[in-house]
Structure 1
Amino acid sequence: MKACFTLMNRLTRQFGNIVCIFTLSVLIISCTSSSHFTELPSSNYSYRVKSLVMHFTAVNYQDSVKFLVNEGGGVSSHYLIPQLNDDSYPKDNIEVLKLVDETERAWHAGVSYWQGRSGLNDSSIGIEIVNMPECIEQDVPPGFIKPKPLCIFPEFESKQIDLLIALSQDILARNPDITPTAVIGHSDIAPSRKNDPGPRFPWQKLYEAGIGAWYEKDAVAKYWQIFNEHPPHLGLLQRALYTYGYGINLTGELDKQTQDVLGAFQMHFVPWQVNYNPDNSTAATLFALLEKYFPEQLTDLVEEYSKHKVNSATESAAIRPKNQLNMLFLNDSPANKNGKRLYNDKRYSFLGLANTGTLILQSENIESADIIINGQKLNISDRFNHQEQLVYSIARRTRNGINTIKVNNIKGAENGTLTLSIPYPEITPLDTFASNGIDFSAVDSLIEHDVENGFPGATLLVLYQGKIVKRSAYGYARKYADGGELLTIPEPMLASTQFDLASNTKVFATTMAIMKLVSDGHLDVDAPLSQYLEEYSGAGRETRSIADLLTHSSGYNSEVQLFKLDNPFGEALYSQDKALTRDILLKKLPFAHTKDSAQQYSDTNFMILGLLVERITGMPLDEYVETHIYKPLNLAATMYNPLQKRQQKSFFAATEIKGNTRAGEVDFANIRKYVLQGEVHDEKAYYSLQGVAGHAGLFSNVDDLAVLAKLLLNGGGYGMHALFDANTLKRFTHPRHSEDSFGLGWRLAANDNKWHFGAYASEQAFGHTGWTGTATLIDPKLDLAVIYLSNKKHSPVIKQGEKLYFEGDKFDSARYGNVMTLIYEAILSSKSSNE
């Protein structure tokens, strides 16, 4: 009978009373003459409603009614809560309006997913709350991917929330299958389409009223501390989001869908930090929620995290202490009973610096042993039989280069052990550096003379035999205002000034990341790129190896200006969105030359290699190198997108005066036309990859680069951290073919590269340069590194004939080979180099 009267009510609303009276007798007869049945209740059932979805209307009351109630709107919800502060609302007090019966299907969710269910209109109750954010859409030229709008979200009225809490409590009482984690927002179930109810929605207040889910602060603190030490990889974070309920594809990449889901999660649970990034605090909050509501599923995630932390590529060996020499010995007492002795079993060599170095000793059940360094026995008889680690200085016995250590006469119990280790050499602290009698006046005169005549500025660091023998700053970090006029008070250059490294990013970020992955056994450079990036296929891509890209032998042209709509390939290869750029790089970018052509230097190679690192590690490139390469070495000045990471503009050397115009040769719709300072200059990096790219985007200073250079001179380690082994370093810094100018990533001094390395660099020297004015040189044969960072492009444009040039490029100091040659001459003629 109830169903019949429900039907009559519908007919009355739709057709009026006349039709209803005409059919009333028929309905009554039909309803009262139903077949009788016997009930046999089944235990296999559940309630239809599984979730409760919160929305904001984004429009006022009058428009909400138009869309949700009147015909033609195409959308509805079960309930609507108006707003008092709304001129279109006709009453003095707000009340909950019921639009659709809970037993019926309202059209509020659209294309949606939550906890294994899609099309949630069938299994949810929707509540619309009048709330009107103000969103600003960015105007972009045709073909641009529009960024997310900038929205200002107002607070919800307290009376609205009070009514919402009472209503939600009633709904939950009627629908017991709605679990706490199934009280959600529209953005949770459709993160790529919706942002309601927004970051101002009081989820925590609802939780305190018994509605929805929230986390325990202690659990967040626990996971936050764990993840700060070892961040979870992106693939694991995607799995965790999926486990909680989000519809997310497990790609292992920070693609658009992942960013959308992260943003939805942050608006719900960390609304004070909506950055769409997989930061550790977001991960900690997610795992705290899983611990509270999905403890069984969390077990598998924690197990995967633990394995990944130990074994995967995202867990850098550099994070774990790892010395250059690690030795484990048993005592000699029960051994060598036949009188034979092996002279190579307790003898080792290690790289050292004169008057520096430590030995780390740990022993158990050992009474004594002879430890001999460079022929001199250490007097450490009181240091044995201590289970804790003891650190002993060996500075009086070390020398530059190769040192020797041997261990004899180990005495103690039969099960006794002796562990010895020696860290990699570190740079002599900066406050003790001196020139060691090396006369650098010639290079000083060159740069200072040019600065007096208009060269903007530079910093220079020379690392020789483990010591900083020169660390200087010249000229100005910034001379010109945005309009091109000279500043009244220019910003002086400091030795600590950070620079846009431009193409030095290729080696100090991407190549070093790949070297580490190779050394750890996670990457084979001779394998096809498609082995790791499956979508990299077609048009000959399957034949390109990772080594082809590293050596600039892939066949790509020098660059494709993806950031310009009028690039040679038009809209098909145009992108200012990272997800679209990734798709173009891996699927659409054509080759300009055959694979077997001569080396063609190309940014494209390293743009793709940056994506490769992200795929293997499951982390954004900047997060991987900053967390697993720079952080263990305490390199605080080396990073991508530094202005977004709370650095000040004044820390940086300025680049081109008029933005990205490249001496007037480049122009496009949204080009920057102000002095760039702390923003990457390279257009492909800035516009097409949002500042994080394999070919450009890294910032650093001479001090941090000196540490990385020393790590390379050490064969792959620094202090108690090893990034890669010496064999990997040798493989990357040697030519694959005799005529090559590049090794794997690194530019080589061989084959007439004097314009970079100068006249005297040894055949072992390697390094790189950058368009903005940066040059690095590492020469293992002389135990020498030179870091020269200039801002030569921060200068006016001059015209010579029909060509425009940067004034800074005309100076002798702008030619890296000049600087390198004078440094070599100073060192080779010094007393210290002949000792």
Structure 2
Amino acid sequence: MNFPYFDTPMRACLVLLMCMASLSCVNHYPMEPSHNYSKRIKFLVMHYTAIDYQKSERVLVDEGGLSAHYLVPQSGDPSYQRSELEVVQLVAEQDRAWHAGNSFWQGRSDLNDHSIGIEVVNVPRCAAAERTAKTAAGQEQKLCMYPDYDPQQVQLLIALSQDILARNPDIGPTQVVGHSDIAPGRKSDPGPRFPWYQLYKAGVGAWYKQADVEHYWQHFSTAAPTTALMQQALRDYGYGVDVSGQLDRKTVAVIKAFQAHFLPWQVHGQADGKTAAVLFALLHRYKPDKAQARFRDYQALNTAQPAPSKPLGHEQLLASYPAKALSSRKDVNNKYRFKAYQGRGEIIIDNVNAVAAELVVNGQTLNIAKPLTADTQYRYSLSKRTRTGVNSLHIKSVTPEDAQLHIRIPAPVLTQRPIPKRFEQVDALINAEIEQGFPGAVLAVVHQGELVKLSAYGEARKYHDSGEVMATPQPMQTDTLFDIASNTKMFATNLALMHLVSQGHLDVSLPVSFYLPEYRGQGRELRLVSDLLEHSAGYPAVVDFHRRDNQLGEQFYSISSDWTKQLIVQGVPFTAMRKQRHLYSDIDYMLLGLLVERISGMPLDAYVESRLYAPLGITSMMFNPLQKGVLAQQIAATEIQGNTRGGRVHFEGVRDYVLQGEVHDEKAFYSLAGVAGHAGLFADAKSLAQLCQLLLNRGTYGEKQLFTASVLDQFTKPSRSDESYGLGWRRAGNGARKWHFGPYASTQAYGHTGWTGTVTVIDPEYDLAIVLLTNARHSPVMGTEQQYQFVGKQFETGQYGSVVTRVYEAILGL
């Protein structure tokens, strides 16, 4: 292997003279070798230059103030003039090259003193100047795409690395690192395309065993390690991260660096279960003592925390015999109520040691096994004994007297039984408006545990990017996904908060700063979690982080999710005093989304998708669907010309094409990477109907409980100052929001709306839920630049109230 160092006779002569001079000055001393020493070189650091060979050589040799020990050129680089591709040595290995800068790895800083650096020519393709991201330091950061490394170049790199490792035995597998590993957040090289696994197979660097990953994944897929434990494990491996328990910018940067090295197909900065499994697998292989210690910590925390959910809860039946507390009023003992529907229901008996039991449902004795077998579970249908509404269970007797058993009755699950004739007037209204130009809709109606209507109307996509009507529009389907906009607040963030409250992890009466210690200054310490939920914290309605000309000034411009989150927590000023008034604000729910992430130690999308939807069997509700395998054709389109309002709105990087699968909300898309507490969730009508049934069941669905009935009551009761507000939920009250709930809704009804054209209504008094999803904004925009409106929002279907009213009329027979 040739490592040419000098490319001109003049340079060669100069160095020869220097060598002769140095040899003449060498002093020879007696040598008594000591055993107490180590090699200076501990690490091998990989870089890319991001510029071509000629520029790289000029910067690293002559004028850049930077250097590396070796430079590896790239095939096809027109600036590389040699006939054969070969490694160039720039600095002798025993000398200190200036390649690492401010750096840290495995307890050592300033790695220039301890490392060999290799620069690999690899030129990224960066987007235009207007597509830049704001970093936490307020600097501009270009958004770049990185090409694969040249195969011939990789073979040179492997041979060079093998030579270096042979000469420097102190460089172990975990000491072969990238610049981003030792300087996360500041450097991104050598990038997610770097062939780390290929180097590992050649004996260079570390990698994990898949069997170890699967072992840890079995644990972490259901309960990921806490943020603090992830930070400690990353630090154990070598990263310079503080164990703060907060998913701060530095931690996210470290996680991204780790993922770029070991999970390059998912570099998102999320401390998810898969990332944790790979990290623990690496510790298991290379630092087994650390792996054991961290896994013991994980098990201790997992045991110490409350169970994530109870099988059944307060509203649906979970009864034990003998009861823990008996009343002196004998007739109240061992009697229970439960919700069921006629012809449906099941009872589960977990017998401990009873021989016989007399169980009475709605006055009828059940036929159960005689005798009962100890430590056995029995399941019996209740279909011949249940009725719609309130049902009763009486544990009349159990023998012997000291016997024990447990009884469960699962909550109702949604069944489908369409009754189209009831809804002729609803269909007539929507179909007539489709004929008049309304784009499309899907309507789901839940009544007494049944999905009595699930209908699709019109088109999911009707227009080309140009605004012209498509010759063959994409038809709406009942399983079409919709951008549900602010219904995200309820069916993602609020459900997550209710879940956390039910587990004892969150108290909404506490200050926000109790959970976000950095949330301080300008009166933030006074704001309670409940203030955010009631939209009474005093925040402005919106802050256009995605625009340089936003209302708070350019310092609030950000298209970096990490920086936006810091602005939300510490920067956005109040426009009103606490409790002065209710001002509906996206900022409130951006903060609440961050609260979910901080308490759970998981990204918001990962938390709701794995902890709320998956247990119910819901797989079609998600953030960023295009990144999760969903095709654009499966999703209803929103605005025709992106965020331009028909060419009336302009800002840097504005989308000007039909939005189909990308969240419409500008703050969520540009400034929060598509995952936000206020917007970003995509859902189909049937899945939302299933969650509505969960709410009508008061927190339980089948044998899965996501929140308790008391927590539901807490979140849906009216605010003292405005009965149309609950904790997040909007309420029908006494007709305060007829345009939303219609004239027939009970005072108990609650729900929400979404800017894209979505509305939900849950009415416990009638055991009724309505989900109307439309793509009303997928329509032309009329008016001036100052005053404009979407044509779709002028239709009754796009304004909700008339459709909701006709559904009530169909259900109530009016």
State TM-score, norm by structure 1. 0.88
Match of 1:270 among 243, 246, 263: 263
Match of 2:111 among 112, 116, 120: 120
For structure 1, the residue ranges without an aligned partner over 5 or more in a row are 1-11, 831-835
Aligned to 2:749: 765
User: Do the aligned residues in 2 keep the contact of 1:362 with 1:386 (CA within 8 Å)?
Assistant: no
The one-letter code matched in structure 1 to 2:123 is: P
What is the CA–CA distance in structure 2 between the aligned matches of 1:578 and 1:66, rounded to whole Å?
Answer: 36
Q: Which is worse superposed, 46-55 or 304-313?
A: 304-313
Aligned to 2:365: 377
Match of 1:503 among 466, 486, 498: 486
**Offset of 1:63 from its aligned partner?**
4.4
**Offset of 1:125 from its aligned partner?**
2.2
Match of 1:418 among 405, 416, 438: 405
SS of structure 1 residue aligned to 2:404: strand
1:398 partnered with 2:382: no
Aligned to 2:144: 149
SS of structure 2 residue aligned to 1:381: coil
Match of 1:105 among 74, 96, 114: 96
Note closer, same or farther for the CA distance 1:59–1:383 as it changes in structure 2 (3 Å cut). farther
Aligned to 2:811: 827
SS of structure 2 residue aligned to 1:157: helix
Aligned to 1:9: none
What is the CA–CA distance in structure 1 between the aligned matches of 2:366 and 2:164, rounded to whole Å?
Answer: 79
SS of structure 2 residue aligned to 1:472: strand
**Offset of 1:258 from its aligned partner?**
3.9
What is the CA–CA distance in structure 2 between the aligned matches of 1:399 and 1:557, rounded to whole Å?
Answer: 49
**Offset of 1:272 from its aligned partner?**
4.8
Aligned to 1:596: 579
Aligned to 2:667: 684
1:220 partnered with 2:213: yes
What is the CA–CA distance in structure 2 between the aligned matches of 1:150 and 1:304, rounded to whole Å?
Answer: 39
Aligned to 1:533: 516
* 1:626-775 equivalences in 2 (<5 Å): 626-662=609-645, 666-737=649-720, 739-751=722-734, 752-775=736-759
The one-letter code matched in structure 2 to 1:358 is: E
User: Percent identity among equivalent residues?
Assistant: 48
What is the CA–CA distance in structure 2 between the aligned matches of 1:803 and 1:153, rounded to whole Å?
Answer: 49
Aligned to 1:53: 45
Match of 2:350 among 359, 362, 374: 362
User: Do the aligned residues in 1 keep the contact of 2:347 with 2:380 (CA within 8 Å)?
Assistant: yes
**Offset of 1:409 from its aligned partner?**
2.6
Note closer, same or farther for the CA distance 1:84–1:605 as it changes in structure 2 (3 Å cut). closer
* 1:464-483 equivalences in 2 (<5 Å): 464-483=447-466
SS of structure 2 residue aligned to 1:365: coil
**Offset of 1:165 from its aligned partner?**
4.8
The one-letter code matched in structure 2 to 1:303 is: R
Q: Deviations over 1:311-368 (max 9, x none)?
A: 558x7427x6779322332599xx99xxx99443422221222211111122233221
Q: Deviations over 1:426-452 (max 9, x none)?
A: 112x2x4436xx722222222222222
User: Do the aligned residues in 2 keep the contact of 1:134 with 1:153 (CA within 8 Å)?
Assistant: no
What is the CA–CA distance in structure 2 between the aligned matches of 1:502 and 1:574, rounded to whole Å?
Answer: 22
Match of 2:541 among 558, 566, 572: 558
Q: Which is worse superposed, 701-710 or 552-561?
A: 552-561
The one-letter code matched in structure 1 to 2:718 is: P
* 1:211-250 equivalences in 2 (<5 Å): 211-250=204-243
Note closer, same or farther for the CA distance 1:109–1:390 as it changes in structure 2 (3 Å cut). same
What is the CA–CA distance in structure 2 between the aligned matches of 1:740 and 1:746, rounded to whole Å?
Answer: 11
What is the CA–CA distance in structure 1 between the aligned matches of 2:180 and 2:441, rounded to whole Å?
Answer: 49
User: Do the aligned residues in 2 keep the contact of 1:165 with 1:209 (CA within 8 Å)?
Assistant: yes
The one-letter code matched in structure 2 to 1:810 is: Q
What is the CA–CA distance in structure 1 between the aligned matches of 2:371 and 2:257, rounded to whole Å?
Answer: 58
The one-letter code matched in structure 2 to 1:285 is: V
SS of structure 1 residue aligned to 2:216: helix
**Offset of 1:138 from its aligned partner?**
3.5
What is the CA–CA distance in structure 1 between the aligned matches of 2:323 and 2:573, rounded to whole Å?
Answer: 64
What is the CA–CA distance in structure 2 between the aligned matches of 1:15 and 1:459, rounded to whole Å?
Answer: 79
1:791 partnered with 2:779: no
The one-letter code matched in structure 1 to 2:809 is: E
User: Do the aligned residues in 1 keep the contact of 2:312 with 2:410 (CA within 8 Å)?
Assistant: no
SS of structure 2 residue aligned to 1:152: coil
* 1:158-557 equivalences in 2 (<5 Å): 161=155, 164-165=157-158, 167-250=160-243, 256-309=249-302, 312=305, 316-317=308-309, 324-329=316-321, 342-382=330-370, 384-385=372-373, 387-412=375-400, 416-428=403-415, 430=416, 432-434=417-419, 439-557=422-540
Q: Deviations over 1:34-65 (max 9, x none)?
A: 7x89x69565x433322222334445555444
Note closer, same or farther for the CA distance 1:581–1:195 as it changes in structure 2 (3 Å cut). closer
SS of structure 2 residue aligned to 1:580: helix
1:133 partnered with 2:128: no
**Offset of 1:387 from its aligned partner?**
2.8
RMSD over aligned CA atoms reads 3.3
**Offset of 1:19 from its aligned partner?**
12
Note closer, same or farther for the CA distance 1:234–1:18 as it changes in structure 2 (3 Å cut). closer
What is the CA–CA distance in structure 2 between the aligned matches of 1:575 and 1:274, rounded to whole Å?
Answer: 20
Q: Deviations over 1:469-516 (max 9, x none)?
A: 222222222222211121112222222222111111111111111111
User: Do the aligned residues in 2 keep the contact of 1:133 with 1:153 (CA within 8 Å)?
Assistant: no
State TM-score, norm by structure 2. 0.90
Q: Deviations over 1:610-653 (max 9, x none)?
A: 11111111111111111111111112221111111111112222
What is the CA–CA distance in structure 1 between the aligned matches of 2:772 and 2:273, rounded to whole Å?
Answer: 35
The one-letter code matched in structure 1 to 2:116 is: I
**Offset of 1:732 from its aligned partner?**
0.7
What is the CA–CA distance in structure 2 between the aligned matches of 1:81 and 1:147, rounded to whole Å?
Answer: 25
Q: Deviations over 1:507-549 (max 9, x none)?
A: 1111111111111111111111112112222112111111111
Aligned to 1:3: none
SS of structure 2 residue aligned to 1:462: strand
SS of structure 2 residue aligned to 1:366: coil
**Offset of 1:734 from its aligned partner?**
0.8
User: Do the aligned residues in 1 keep the contact of 2:668 with 2:675 (CA within 8 Å)?
Assistant: yes
Quick check: which has more Rg, 1 or 2? 1
The one-letter code matched in structure 1 to 2:214 is: A
Note closer, same or farther for the CA distance 1:135–1:190 as it changes in structure 2 (3 Å cut). farther
SS of structure 2 residue aligned to 1:824: helix
Q: Deviations over 1:136-173 (max 9, x none)?
A: 24321788543531111322417x63x65555445445
User: Do the aligned residues in 2 keep the contact of 1:766 with 1:777 (CA within 8 Å)?
Assistant: yes
What is the CA–CA distance in structure 2 between the aligned matches of 1:142 and 1:109, rounded to whole Å?
Answer: 25
**Offset of 1:664 from its aligned partner?**
6.0
Aligned to 1:7: none
Q: Deviations over 1:780-800 (max 9, x none)?
A: 111111111122222222349
The one-letter code matched in structure 1 to 2:651 is: F
Note closer, same or farther for the CA distance 1:200–1:825 as it changes in structure 2 (3 Å cut). closer
User: Do the aligned residues in 2 keep the contact of 1:655 with 1:675 (CA within 8 Å)?
Assistant: yes
**Offset of 1:742 from its aligned partner?**
0.5
User: Do the aligned residues in 2 keep the contact of 1:663 with 1:804 (CA within 8 Å)?
Assistant: no
User: Do the aligned residues in 2 keep the contact of 1:331 with 1:411 (CA within 8 Å)?
Assistant: no
Q: Which is worse superposed, 91-100 or 814-823?
A: 91-100
SS of structure 2 residue aligned to 1:696: coil
Q: Deviations over 1:443-470 (max 9, x none)?
A: 2222222222122221111111111222
User: Do the aligned residues in 1 keep the contact of 2:486 with 2:752 (CA within 8 Å)?
Assistant: yes
